[in-house]
Amino acid sequence: MDGGKNFLLGIYDDEDVLKSAVKKVRGAGIKIHEVFSPYPVHGLDEVLGYKRTRLPIAAFMFGFLGTVLALTMQGYMLAIDWPMIIGGKNYASVTFVPVTFELTVLLAALGMVGTFLIVSNMRPWAKPRIFDRRSTDDKHVMAVDLDLNKVSSDEITRVLNESGATEVNPKQFD
């Protein structure tokens, strides 16, 4: 993930406090790097101002690739390279449908999962930054990138505290 090395973490106990805090912090002109939650918080992506994921577009592309791949593969194998007449049928026919369908679904599914893992920094060789282990347990963690924000660290600490954070911790990465 891009970004700096110095962060401030606001720790929150409650998802409703967290959501209003996100609004307050963004309202104060502070850019939020990311929010980590133990479970999906409904509406959090909206208050964070995230755009809708473009994952469906990737899925369509991969699916289309699967369709093209299946048709060219079967066409090349059964009609061009080694023409085979099975049961007196045409080379290219409705018998291509099952393989085409399966490859479309397979590539769309695998492609989508792969894209998702890469985009969300969860590829196998990735070394994700762990901001606060409690975000997998019972705390919501809001990470603010100090290097990207022009607002001073003290000011950010004040805003985070005011917005209802139970604690505000600095965090550095190498």
Partner 1 sequence: MTNEKFNFTASLKKKLIITGIVGVALFVIGLAAVMMGGGHEEASHGAEAAGHAAEAASHGGGGEHGGSSWLTRIFANLWINNVYFTGVALIGVFFVAIQYVAQAGWSAPIKRIPLAFGNWLPIAGILMLVTWLVASHDLFHWTHEDLYVEGGPHYDEIIAGKKAYLNTPFYLARMVIYFSIWFLFFRWIRKEILAEDLDGSTQHWRKLIGISAGFIVFFAVSSSMSAWDWILSIDTHWFSTMIGWYVFASWFVTGLATITLIIVYLKESGYLPQVNSNHLHDLGKFVFAFSIFWTYIWVSQYLLIYYANIPEESVYFMERLNSDQYAPAFYVILIMNFFFPFLALMTRDAKRHVMFLKIVCPVVILGHWLDFYLMVTPGTMKEAGGFGFLEIGMAMIFGVAFLFVVLSSLAKVPLVAKNHPMLEESIHHHI
Under the rule (CB under 8 A), what is the footprint of partner 1? 42-43, 52, 56, 60, 87-89, 93-95, 97-98
**CB of 57: closest distance to partner 1 in angstroms?**
9
**CB of 116: closest distance to partner 1 in angstroms?**
17
Amino acid code (one letter) for 160? L
**CB of 104: closest distance to partner 1 in angstroms?**
12
**CB of 36: closest distance to partner 1 in angstroms?**
23
Q: Return the number of the residue (86 or 138) whose C-beta is nearest partner 1.
A: 86
Q: Return the number of the residue (83 or 87) whose C-beta is nearest partner 1.
A: 87
Q: Return the number of the residue (10 or 63) whose C-beta is nearest partner 1.
A: 63
Based on C-alpha coordinates, what's the Rg of the chain?
Answer: 25
